[in-house]
Every structure is written in C-alpha cells, then in structure tokens.
C-alpha cells in the first residue's frame, strides 16, 4: 500500500470581467453621463485542507480545475457578477508545489487551512468610474484582467499517528495487517520487516495512520539491528503500541522484553520514552501458562501501562486495542513540526507584471533604475562577490533597462544608480 501520494493538476483562475463604456440615454437629456459598470472579479482557485480526506485519489481522474470568469459590466452602472472561487479540498499534510519554478507554495497542515494558488483577474472599471470634474465623459474602460494558470504538484506524506514497536517476530506486521488494509510481509523469522509499512485504521467516522517498523533489539539505539534509523520515524508518531509476545513463544520473558525495548527508547531520546504507550500483549492464543501471563500483566500495569491482550492471528482483542488507541490519540496533542519557512507570493498577472517592471530615470548625468523585483534581488546581492554582482547586472540588462537608458542618452562613463549603489557604465 503506497501512502506517499502525489499528482499533478492544472488550475486556472477566472478572467476578470471587462468594464464597459456606456452613456445614459434619457428622453430630455441629449447626452447623458457615463454609465458603464465595472466588470466582476474572476474567481480564485483556493486549496483547503480537509480532515475528512485521506488520500489524493480524487485527483487521479480529474486533472484540470478552473474557477469562474467574472462577468463584464453593463450599462446603467450595472456591475458584472464576480466569478465564483473554485475550492479544491485536499487532505491535511498536502504540500503544494509550483511545477514551473519548483517552489513550495504551501504546506496545508491544519484542517481548514487555505491557500490561494491562482488569483482571478481583478475586474475592470467601467467608464462611470473614471468620470471626475474635468473628465465628465470618459469614453474608455478597463479590461478585466487575465486569469492565472499554474501546474501544481500535490504531495501527501502520511505521517503515522501510531507506531508499532517491539522485538522482532512478535507480530507487529500481523497486527498492522489485521487493523488496516495494508499488506506487509509477515513471516516467522526475525527482521522480516526492513522498512516501515503504513496503513489507515478506520474507526467510526474517524481514521488514523498506523506504522510498523523493523523489530528492535538490545543496542538498537546505538545502531544494533535495523532499529536506529526507524527510531527517528517513530519519534514523529503521536503514540506507541508496544507489541510483546505475551506467550514467550521464543523462550524470552515478556517482562524483560518490555523493559529492554523501553530502555532502548529511553537511551535514544527522552521524547520517545515519554510518548504515550499502550501494550498489545500478542499471541495470547499460544499462552499455556496463564499465571505467568497474569504476572506479566500486573508487572506492566505496575509501571503505568495499560495492557490489551490480543491475538493478531485470530483477531481476538483487536477491536478493544484499536478503540483504546483511538481514545488515547484523541487526548494526545499532535507532534509539533518545524517547517521550512515557506514564503511563496501568489500574484495576479497584473501584480506579477508590476513586480517585474523596471523603471528607468535620469537625473542629469546619473541614470536610475528601480523596480520591485529588482529591489529584492538588490537586497540579496553581495557587493563583495563578483558572481553576485554579475547576477544583478544581468538582471538589469535582461530587463531591457540598459537599452532604455541608452535611448535616454546614456553614454560611456555615465553613472547608473540602483537604489543607493552607483557604478559607471562601460560597454562590454
Ligand atoms: N500464534 C500466533 N502467531 C502470530 C500472532 N501474531 C503473529 N504471529 C506470527 O508470528 C510471526 C511473526 O509475525 P510478524 O507480524 O511478521 O512479526 P513482526 O513483529 O512484524 O516481525 P519483524 O518484522 O521480523 O520484526 C508470523 O509467523 C506470524 O504469523 C498471533 O497472535 N498468534
Ligand atoms: Mg514485521
């Protein structure tokens, strides 16, 4: 069962409605005032995280998403209707990436968290808007503004809520297989599982993600066996189910198993051993010494753990165990995650053009260049580094600013000023 899901879709916002040019016509007024209404705003494409979704399955068949266009304005100062926003629901934990630039646009982690991935055109003003005391009959109106189209990659990484830990061969994968639709490899030898498997447990109208990991052994926290790398994984789960072979079918004492594994957790990290933990006492179908089992149960309970007797092989006790896990999750805070600082600016085409626009000016023999994007690049330029400077210069050159300055009369040796930085212009 593959639970790292990803897919690519294209989203398109709505065009803005055009403003219109219209004039009032009334019986006794030969030439009425302007009455062209504004166009409506184009719909945005908005992603919203929804806790009821678990996978990206829905996107497998529908790949194109488009918000409504805004309506054009009409005469009699009538506004065009705004286009409806298009809401796309995604599971919590979906990362949105802009395919063209490769930039992460958003990481929708919380229920209801939203992100505008494509802004609609803003809608043009009708000529009525442009009238003023000197310009009483403007015969122009604004166009509505274009839509934005973007290819977005959605990626969903399922993070397990519950981690199954325990010695090799105690039945962790079997428990996962009977609790979820996951089909991990199960076999009667140690280290059958070499990478974790994930599955979704459905309970009532809720669900949670469970993961098994390779078996832990003494010294796992120091690198013995396969466990070390996976201790990191379970550090991100919210609760642990500690699976023990309660029948001691391989000749070990379950009390010792419990203590040894917990000692490994403790020496790996404090966080891990403090995680809420319940015990699945597995293989009860093999118990022949009931007294020894009661002793184990009492021992674990004396250490503060709840013990759930189960038999993963015969499904006995599974329901009770999962209900307990579900209940525990409900009272356990989700793991805090440190996220990279995502700062993706979603701009409409108008804003984008404005952002990229480079302005040229002249003050005597000093030629000036400025712009919003230029300012960003300027602020991150290292003026002691020739590569960084060259990048800045290339940006200015590619923007067409140098050509424009030459048209404005710039000559060799004149000064170009970018914000507070000045340099002389020489032809290359
Ligand atoms: N009798 C009995 N056998 C079980 C039970 N649960 C699991 N087994 C058997 O125990 C063996 C190991 O099961 P796995 O689920 O592979 O154990 P694991 O803990 O995932 O093992 P590793 O991946 O090697 O760490 C298999 O042969 C299972 O069929 C149980 O409740 N009763
Ligand atoms: Mg296994």
Query: Does the model's pTM come out above 0.75?
Result: no
Count of other CB atoms within 10 angstroms of residue 292: 16
Contact 41, 95 (CB under 8 A): no
Q: Checking phi first, is residue 371 left (phi over 0); if not, alpha (psi -120 to 50) or beta?
A: left
Q: Which ranges in 380-426 belong to alpha helices (H)?
A: 386-398, 401-407
Place of tokens 């009272």: 331
Sheet holding 162-165, edge to edge: 197-203, 206-212, 162-165, 239-245, 277-282, 307-309
Phi, psi (deg, nearest 5) at residue 57: -50, -45
Q: How far is CA 391 from CA 126, 215, 229, 383, in A?
A: 42, 52, 41, 11
Which positions ≥6 away from 133 have C-beta within 8 Å? none
The pLDDT tens digits of the residues spanning 112-125 come to 999 999 999 999 88
- Going by alpha carbons, the residue nearest to atom 32 of ligand 1 is 283
Contact criterion met (CB below 8 Å) for 147 and 12: yes
Pocket test for ligand 1, best of 171, 224, 248 (most atoms within 8 A of CB): 171
> What is the best residue among 164, 169, 193, 224 to mutate for testing ligand 1's pocket, by most ligand atoms within 8 Å of CB?
169
Q: How far is the CA of 170 from the centre of ligand 1 (A)?
A: 5
State the distance from the centre of ligand 1 to the C-alpha of 274, rounded, in angstroms: 27
The pLDDT confidence band at residue 29, using thresholds 50, 70 and 90, is low
- Please tell me the distance from the alpha carbon of residue 248 to that of residue 255, in angstroms, as a whole number: 10
Cβ–Cβ < 8 Å for 217, 168: yes
pLDDT at res. 82: 96
Around ligand 1, the residues with Cβ closer than 6 Å are 168-174, 186-188, 190-193, 212, 214-215, 282-283, 285-286, 311-313
Average pLDDT, the chain: 87
Q: DSSP states of 191-210 as a string?
A: T---S-EEEEEEETTEEEEE
Please give the residue that has the higher pLDDT: either 110 or 302.
302
Whole-angstrom Cα distance, residue 1 to residue 3?
6
Number of neighbouring beta carbons within 10 Å of residue 336: 6
- 171-186 tens-digit pLDDT: 999 999 999 888 889 9
Q: How would residue 428 be classed by pLDDT, with cut points 50, 70 and 90?
A: low
At residue 5 the predicted structure's pLDDT band, cuts being 50, 70 and 90, is low
Atom 9 of ligand 1, residue of closest alpha carbon: 171
Is residue 7 over pLDDT 70? Answer: yes
Residue 209: is its pLDDT beyond 50? yes
Tell the residue nearest (CA) to atom 11 of ligand 1: 188
**To test ligand 1's pocket by mutation, which of 174, 178, 195 has the most ligand atoms within 8 angstroms of CB?**
174
Q: What is the mean pLDDT of residues 254-281?
A: 94
**Residue range 223-229: average pLDDT?**
76
CA distances from 67 to 72, 146, 292 (A): 16, 12, 66
β-bridge partners, 7 = 154
Closest approach atom of ligand 1 to CA 174: 15
* Average pLDDT of span 267-282: 94
- Å from CA of 258 to ligand 1 middle: 17
The band of 158, judged by pLDDT with boundaries at 50, 70 and 90, is: low
Residue 217 has pLDDT above 90, yes or no: no
Ligand 2 mean position to 166 CA, how many Å? 10
Q: What residue owns the CA closest to ligand 1's atom 6? A: 171
**Average pLDDT value for residue range 245-254:** 95
pLDDT per residue over 369-388, tens digit each? 999 888 888 876 777 777 77
DSSP string, 221-242: GGT-TTHHHHHHHHTTSSEEEE
Q: What is the pLDDT of residue 312?
A: 97
Distance CA 119, CA 147 (A): 7
How does pLDDT run across 42-73, given as a tens digit for each residue? 999 999 999 877 777 778 778 999 999 999 99
* Atom 1 of ligand 1, nearest CA residue: 283
Query: How far, in Å, from the CA of 101 to the mean position of ligand 1?
Result: 47
Question: Looking at residues 303-311, what average pLDDT do you find?
Answer: 97
Measured between alpha carbons, how far is 263 from 260 in angstroms, rounded to an integer? Answer: 5
Instruction: Specify the DSSP element, H or E, that contains 156.
Output: strand 149-157
Q: CA end-to-end span of the chain, whole Å? A: 60
- Are residues 161 and 169 in contact, defined by beta-carbon separation less than 8 angstroms? no
Alpha helices in 113-223 (DSSP H): 172-179
Q: Confidence band (pLDDT; 50, 70, 90) for 1?
A: very low
Would you state the pLDDT for residue 296? 97
* DSSP type of residue 316: B
Please answer whether residues 136 and 74 qualify as being in contact, where contact means their C-beta atoms are separated by less than 8 angstroms: no
């Amino acid at each position: 069962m593959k639970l790292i899901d990803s897919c690519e879709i294209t989203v398109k916002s709505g065009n803005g409605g055009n403003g219109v040019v219209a004039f009032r016509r009334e019986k006794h007024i030969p030439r009425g005032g302007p009455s062209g209404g504004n166009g409506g705003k184009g719909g945005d494409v908005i992603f919203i995280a929804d806790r009821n979704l678990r996978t990206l399955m829905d996107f497998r068949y529908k790949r194109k998403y488009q918000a409504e266009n805004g309506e054009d304005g009409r005469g009699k100062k009538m506004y065009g209707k705004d286009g409806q926003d298009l809401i796309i629901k995604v599971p919590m934990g979906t990362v949105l990436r802009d395919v063209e630039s490769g930039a992460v646009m958003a990481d929708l982690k919380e229920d209801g968290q939203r992100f505008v991935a494509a802004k609609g055109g803003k809608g043009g003003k009708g000529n009525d808007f442009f009238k003023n005391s000197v310009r009483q009959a403007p015969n122009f109106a604004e166009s509505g503004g274009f839509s934005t189209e973007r290819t977005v990659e959605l990626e969903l990484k399922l993070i397990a809520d519950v981690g199954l830990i325990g010695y090799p061969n105690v039945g962790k994968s079997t428990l996962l297989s009977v609790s979820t639709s996951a089909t991990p490899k199960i076999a009667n030898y140690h280290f059958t599982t070499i990478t974790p498997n994930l599955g979704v447990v459905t309970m009532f109208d809720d669900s949670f993600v469970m993961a098994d990991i390779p078996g832990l052994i003494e010294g796992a926290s120091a690198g013995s066996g396969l466990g070390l790398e996976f201790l990191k994984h379970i550090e991100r789960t919210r609760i642990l189910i500690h699976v023990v072979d309660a029948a001691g079918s391989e000749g070990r004492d379950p009390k010792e198993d419990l203590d040894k594994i917990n000692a490994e957790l403790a020496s790996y990290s404090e966080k891990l051993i403090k995680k809420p933990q319940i015990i699945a006492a597995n293989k009860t179908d093999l118990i022949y010494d009931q007294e020894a089992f009661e002793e184990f149960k009492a021992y674990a309970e004396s250490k503060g753990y709840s013990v759930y007797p189960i038999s993963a092989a015969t499904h006995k006790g599974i329901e009770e165990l999962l209900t307990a896990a579900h209940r525990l999750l409900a009272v356990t805070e989700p793991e805090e995650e440190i996220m990279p600082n995502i700062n993706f600016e979603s701009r409409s085409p108008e804003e984008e053009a404005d952002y990229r626009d480079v302005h040229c000016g002249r003050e005597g023999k000093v030629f000036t260049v400025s712009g919003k994007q230029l300012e960003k690049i300027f602020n991150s330029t290292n003026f002691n580094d020739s590569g960084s400077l060259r990048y800045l210069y290339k940006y200015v050159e590619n923007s067409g600013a140098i050509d424009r300055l030459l048209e404005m009369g710039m000559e060799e040796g004149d000064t170009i000023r970018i914000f507070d930085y000045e340099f002389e212009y020489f032809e290359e």
